[in-house]
Structure 1
Amino acid sequence: MRFWNWRAMNMHGRAGRSLVAAALLAVIGLTGSSAAAQATGVRAFSSAQARDGVNALEAQLNELEERYLVPAVVESRFRLESRFNDAKVAYLLADYPRASVLFVAVVDNDRVRQFDSYAEALYLLGDSLYQMRSFRAARSYFRRVVELGPAEFYQPAIVRLLEIAGEIDDYSGVDALYARLDNLEQVNPALHYTRGKTLYQEGRYQAAQPWFQRAARDPQYELIARYFEGVTLAADGDIAAAREAFSSLVTKIPSTPEESRVVDLGHLALGRLAYEERQFDRAIDHYLQLPRTSPYFERSLYELTWSLVSKESYQAALRNLDILLISDPDPRFVPEAKLLMADLSMRLRQYDQARLWFNDIIATFTPVRTELVSFIEEQPDLQSFFVELVRQDLEGLRPEYMPTMVSDWVDGEPLMADARQLVEDGAFTQADIDEAEEALKEVEQMLSYGSNIEAFPVLSEGWKRGVALEAQLISLEEQLIAYELQQAQSVLGPSERARVAELEEELVTLREQHQRGPQSVDDLQSRSTAIRQDFQHLNREMERVAFDIESLTVNLDGIDTYLSQNPVEGFSAEDRAKIRQIRQQMRDDISALQAEHQRLTREVGSVQRQFGARDAMLVQQRDARERYHARLSELGELIDEQSARLSTSSRSGALALAEQRRRLPELKSRLNAYFSGIDEVIDERVVDIRATVTIERQELASYQQELDQWRLDTERTVSSIALWNFSRVDDEFEALIRRGHVGLLDVGWQRKEDATRDINQLFEDRSTEINVLREAFREVR
């Protein structure tokens, strides 16, 4: 693996080590001239340059502390508030699963009840669950918001409770909510609208009307409330008032796509009212108002067609149906449209075209129904069969309830769509629980390693920048000491030279370790990229192995199929036993390979999570860098001891340079304190997260128990709906085929009637002509 193949390593191989040693030996050599300093590669420093360098390091350290450590410490002191903010950010980003998990950890904490944000946390948790379609779980949190009494989220929570009542068709408790609203002096227009809609869904049309009228006074709900007002008036039998409501609606100029759809619904409603009153021209005018971009365009075309049929404008009706079929309508519309086109063709005496449409219906649905009947006959117990299908669907296997040819037709049934949505909600919830469980395992695993800092991206970034700053500090320190040492060579005594040589032996190795480590944020990023690429390569190899194992499974299945279809009676009993033994051994080997593959996959994932900004390798490199700094400091102290021996002309400059260099250990201590502070924050957060993980495991266990009970309650209900829908579709297909055959008979009968009528007309015309000739002949005679 090439984990450590970065630029620094390439620069410092074996040849690099010898060059480093040579450079250091040159540094501590006997020459002290500036030219010699340049020749050895030692950088010359003035006190001003050293001061600028140290000041730059101090400024970077100040920024690191202010940008990363101080906010982290403050956040640790206010962990609950921080978690609330994290949850709110996840909610605003529409990451509702993560938001719900974070909000649960907030609202389950007793301390949060003292905060003003408690009601907001409850509401946002409920709304996160609502967006995930976990309506019953969401309802419990919205009720807790309502129980807190009138406040900022009181009315929005009631809005959600009324919407949930409509979603799950359970209106228990809504009257109590209405009573709460009646006690309020000011009510949000959203509540007026939602209250009216809930009453409408309950079938209480008269009670709903005044609330829609109140909601219509607000510009945000004016159009949609006006539409529902018209719907409730029409449902209540007040057609004139309904027409007035819809007429006022369609005069509005929409400003949003939602408002455009409401205006389209208004035109549809007026068209239907006009059609019922046999005012077909007026109905056609309203249907023509819907643009092709409207989601209700196909419905308007279909209803427009019937208006034209009622006007006996058959040719125009046929053109409309052609457009409808081209626009890719709902599959359930297609046969009705084709049958209507056949009827219209008959009325236009286009019998060949009518016959084509009727034959098309028969040819399309006869094989489908044959498949359905065959499917039914193959099942000894349809009820049990559909129970098993639903059970598989609940387990995420996603079987098809129907043969492929009719799945689109079946899915168009509203009740079946609701049943499928119910099953999908259950599967989605189970997937969420499983995903959450896996996530908790990964979190626990990540927290167990030094790389746990990667769980906190901001702190990880701060740590990396700290490492880069530490490398800069050490590099500046070694350059300053190398230059100072070179300047002090002339005053070193034998014992000092021996001490320098002793330190040099340690510094060569330590300097190599320092240089081998990352020197900048870019180096750290390159290291992360290299590690990621290596693990990507490993994962690709694991995928290839998984494919090979799957191929072995397929081959074994093929062998089993061949042997089941081609008995091996020609083999001896011993050979047959060997074949069985080999097949069993293959199964065992494949199972062992699959188990080993899963183990290796988990192990690779575990190892990958061990690498990060604070992993074992980087910690070792920081330890080596710390020892390097300590030895450099010793060398600096030795140089300081010789400063009194320098000449008067050199002493002031050397002291000024040493003064700046002596600031570096202080900065290094601050940097160490910076790293320690981040460590403390991480340790606190790890403890906090572990406690949260424990709570979440308990919550998941509770959710799983509820879901298991829900499955038992749902399984037979949904299977009964599927069975009923299956039988109903069979009846519908039979009816369509029957209508096609009856249509063909009607075509033949109508042709015969037309021929008879034509013959009778010819006889009548002939008799008339004969009578005219007779009269004319009588006059001639």
Structure 2
Amino acid sequence: MTATLPALALALSLGAAPAPSPAAKPGDALAPLPASLSTRASAVEAVEAQLRTAEQGLRYVEAQFTERPEPSSADSQQKRFSEGELYSLLGDWPAASVLFYDLVSDPDFKSNPRYPEAVFYLADALYQQKNDIGARVYLRDVLSLPLPPQRYKEAVSRYLAVAGRLQQFEGIDAYVEKVRQLSGGVLAPDIAYVHARGTFKRADLSPEEHQQRSRALFAPLAQSPGRFRVQAVYHLGVLSVQAGDHPAAIAQFQRIVATGPDAVVSTGLPEPEAQRFRELARLSLGRLLYETGRYEEALDQYSQVPRESERFPESLLEVAWTYVRKQDFTQAKNATDILLLVAPQSQLAPEAQILQGHLLQKLRQYEEALETYDGVARAFAPARDKVDALLRVNQDPVAYFDNLLARNERSLDVSTLLPPLALQYASTQKEVAEAVRMVGDLDSGRQGAGEAKAIAERILEALDARGLEAFPELQEGYTRAEAVDTALTLVDQALVQAETGLVAEKLTPAEREKLLVAQGEREAQRRRFASLPTTSHELAARRQRMQARVDTVDRDAFRLGYELQSLHANAAAVRKWVEDTREERQADPAEEREFLVQLQAEIATLRDLQTELDRTRARLATERQSTDTSLEGESAIRARYAIALQQEHAMLHAGEARLSGEDTRVLLRMHAVRSRADVLRSRVAVARVALRARLEHRLKSIRDKVRAEQALLQGYEQEVASASGDARNLVGRIAYESFRRVRQQFYELVLKADTGTVDVAFSRTQDNAATIQKIAKEKSDALRALDAEFRDVLSTEGGD
């Protein structure tokens, strides 16, 4: 290897090995370097500078990673609390609930002074996500803990709201009484309103007790100005309606819609909310005035419902019926015309059409009445027949729905079975909406438990397979330590090259031959050592290349997943078709069973493929998060190169004893540099051990937590599976009842239309009969008049 000492010094100062000349010959590598003593000394100085740089890097590793104490459990808890509090302020409730659940479930955190506040934040995050059951559990917990008065009031307010929605009121009186004491004997308006509204919704009270309690809670709010006054007055009006006291109810609703001194003034209530209560009050007032025969006043209230209001169609229908009561059929028909124009898709539209047919009949517009009735029948008769077929598909429709839902593992949305027209009627029914929401929650819970289980497994796999890569901070420290080790290897390389220039000419031919062999082995290792990334740019480029490869495979996996989902849907559709058309096909039972067995085998294969695909995508996700080459592989390459350098240095040792004068002093200086490098290498080893110890501690801590969560997840999965099974049966029954009610609703609409058609024919027949009778009477009267007029003539002729 040929190189001038100035070039060697420059290479050492840059921390890189000089590349061998392609034209170099084996014998040239050992030729003595024509360098002066000062040049050799400057080369050693360059190596020393390189060593100082490595030592500075090692000091940084020791100061920032190995000698800095690990964060204590209290510090980690405080950090998670602060992050959770920040997410709560930002409104990121899922993230906040995860962080606070982690804190609350930590046994060590229960003694922390901030534990009650963490439980409150967790309950509040669940409350904001409409997870009423979970929120109620943690709200009950937090209400038993020491809380500041204001925080306790907030917890009670949320607990009252949740209790009202769940209809579970155990213990609320004690909580409200404590809040009253904290507030100096008077409830804050927001808590008082939530308490009053919850009491108003209670179904476990007798009518008398319900009236008494609700009035006692709403009356103070209705008498004092504030943002809850309008709501309180409205609820008092509803309570009067329930009690049958219509005059009192009218007086309460008039306070809301009036503008005089007796009007209810809203303070702080948002205008959309105030407008909503005004519209409700007008509708309620109109109905009460209608019931008491004050039709003009009722029409006046209905007319003040804004056209853009969602209750405008409802007001139009009630306007029509008010005109019907007044026997003004033309105005009533005009109201139905407007309703059908502004809200043709409303559920009130068919009722308005039926009423319009009756009105047209009253107005003797029989052709238009028949067309209206026929339109209703044409729209709803096919949907009624489809629902009929759905209900008659099996001797036990509930079992049919249960079996269908049990096979449908991806979705429990029974509404997909209904025709589109029937869907809008079934989906708006409260019990179906609640059932679908409940099943959706259970499905999300089952999916979440499955995802959590998969995540736990992935975490354990990542901890076992990735080690340091799972902890970026430790990985950075370990990478810096490896960089120092690499720098020390480069120092060894520079020292060996400098020693070669100093000692090579003192070697015997045999020793030179051995040195050539050692240099050849070292050069082979050097090429692999030089291929390792040494800059941040090279590391980023390698990471980008590997991530691109992972993304390509992941796109293919996503496409395959979509195809598997399509095959799942096709299989479910085929099986449903086989069952629904069994009576029509009259197939051989043996052939059908064989076909179904084959179909089930295909479905099982699809499930296995989906499982394998999910596992593959999970591995891809792990690989995407960690696409750097393993540090252990780089360490092995560097270690082999260091061994080759040591062997080459051993070959040079024989010639060191033959040096003299200044050459010996330069060599001793090189040995001193090597000794310092060995000391630094020992410190690097100590840093590695410390980082590994920290790694093992963190791995054990996380493994213990993950395994504890896995044990909890197993219990959650069993509970969700049990609840999902019950829900399937429940939703099957609710679906059947909902479909039956929809069918009954459509049946009644079609029946009314058919009855209207018959009524039109009957009315037309009556009109024709009346016309015939009138004509016959007129004819008879005319004949009698003629007979009377010509009676004398006829009698005279008879006499003659």
* TM-score, normalisation: structure 2: 0.70
Looking at CA atoms only, which structure, 1 or 2, has the larger radius of gyration? 2
- 1:467 paired to 2:465: no
Aligned equivalent of 2:281, options 264, 269, 273: 269
1:772 alignment counterpart:
none
1:324 alignment counterpart:
342
- 1:683 paired to 2:696: yes
- 1:379 paired to 2:394: yes
Alpha-carbon spacing, 1:566–1:616, altered in 2? closer, same or farther (3 Å)? farther
Equivalent residues of 2:427, 2:433 under 8 A apart: yes
Corresponding residue pairs, total:
709
2:13 alignment counterpart:
none
Report deviation, 1:119.
1.2
Report deviation, 1:512.
2.5
The letter for the 2-side match of 1:407 is L
Distance 2:753 2:573 in 1: 46
Report deviation, 1:57.
9.2
Alpha-carbon spacing, 1:238–1:334, altered in 2? closer, same or farther (3 Å)? closer
Aligned equivalent of 1:439, options 440, 443, 455: 455
Distance 2:614 2:775 in 1: 90
Report deviation, 1:385.
3.6
Distance 2:660 2:76 in 1: 52
**Equivalent residue of 1:148, what SS?**
coil
Aligned equivalent of 2:178, options 177, 180, 186: 180
- 1:109 paired to 2:113: no
Alpha-carbon displacement from aligned partner over 1:346-390 (angstroms, at most 9, x marks no partner): 677765444333211100111122223333333312344455456
Alpha-carbon displacement from aligned partner over 1:555-602 (angstroms, at most 9, x marks no partner): 9999999xx98999xxxxxxx99xx99999999899679758855864
- 1:169 paired to 2:167: yes
Equivalent residues of 1:339, 1:358 under 8 A apart: yes
**Equivalent residue of 1:73, what SS?**
coil
**Equivalent residue of 1:378, what SS?**
coil
Distance 1:643 1:285 in 2: 118
- 1:410 paired to 2:443: no
1:769 alignment counterpart:
none
Equivalent residues of 2:254, 2:285 under 8 A apart: yes
The letter for the 2-side match of 1:724 is E
1:516 alignment counterpart:
531
The letter for the 1-side match of 2:751 is R
Distance 1:748 1:413 in 2: 36
Equivalent residues of 2:256, 2:281 under 8 A apart: no
Higher RCO (C-alpha 8 Å, min separation 6) = 1
Report deviation, 1:519.
2.4
Report deviation, 1:544.
7.3
Report deviation, 1:427.
2.2
The letter for the 2-side match of 1:441 is E
Equivalent residues of 1:314, 1:348 under 8 A apart: no
Equivalent residues of 2:353, 2:376 under 8 A apart: yes
Alpha-carbon displacement from aligned partner over 1:602-623 (angstroms, at most 9, x marks no partner): 4685587478759884312034
Alpha-carbon displacement from aligned partner over 1:458-489 (angstroms, at most 9, x marks no partner): 555x36xx637855984697489759956994
Equivalent residues of 1:392, 1:398 under 8 A apart: no
Aligned equivalent of 1:618, options 631, 650, 665: 631
1:230 alignment counterpart:
234
The letter for the 1-side match of 2:440 is E
Specify every segment of 5 or more residues in structure 1 that has no aligned partner in the other structure, as ranges: 1-16, 292-296, 569-575, 766-781
Report deviation, 1:108.
3.6
Specify every segment of 5 or more residues in structure 2 that has no aligned partner in the other structure, as ranges: 1-16, 204-209, 241-247, 290-294, 779-800
- 1:738 paired to 2:755: no
| Superposition pairs of residues 330-369 of structure 1, within 5 angstroms | 332-343=347-358, 352-369=367-384
Alpha-carbon displacement from aligned partner over 1:316-352 (angstroms, at most 9, x marks no partner): 52563244336x54xx233224334545656777654
Alpha-carbon displacement from aligned partner over 1:195-249 (angstroms, at most 9, x marks no partner): 1221121274554466567779999xx5456324422343234432443246589
2:3 alignment counterpart:
none
| Superposition pairs of residues 561-580 of structure 1, within 5 angstroms | none
The letter for the 2-side match of 1:417 is A
Equivalent residues of 1:510, 1:627 under 8 A apart: yes
Alpha-carbon spacing, 1:391–1:566, altered in 2? closer, same or farther (3 Å)? closer
Distance 2:58 2:269 in 1: 52
Alpha-carbon displacement from aligned partner over 1:277-305 (angstroms, at most 9, x marks no partner): 342464245312x64xxxxx232233145
Equivalent residues of 1:305, 1:320 under 8 A apart: no
Equivalent residues of 1:135, 1:164 under 8 A apart: yes
**Equivalent residue of 1:519, what SS?**
coil
Deviates further, 204-213 or 551-560:
551-560
The letter for the 2-side match of 1:306 is E
Identity %: 20
Distance 2:501 2:379 in 1: 102
Report deviation, 1:138.
3.5
Equivalent residues of 1:250, 1:267 under 8 A apart: no
User: Over the residues paired in the alignment, what is the CA RMSD in angstroms?
Assistant: 5.8
Equivalent residues of 2:282, 2:301 under 8 A apart: yes
2:117 alignment counterpart:
120
* TM-score, normalisation: structure 1: 0.71
Alpha-carbon spacing, 1:481–1:416, altered in 2? closer, same or farther (3 Å)? closer
Aligned equivalent of 2:312, options 284, 297, 300: 300
Report deviation, 1:670.
6.7
Alpha-carbon spacing, 1:566–1:705, altered in 2? closer, same or farther (3 Å)? closer
Equivalent residues of 1:119, 1:145 under 8 A apart: yes
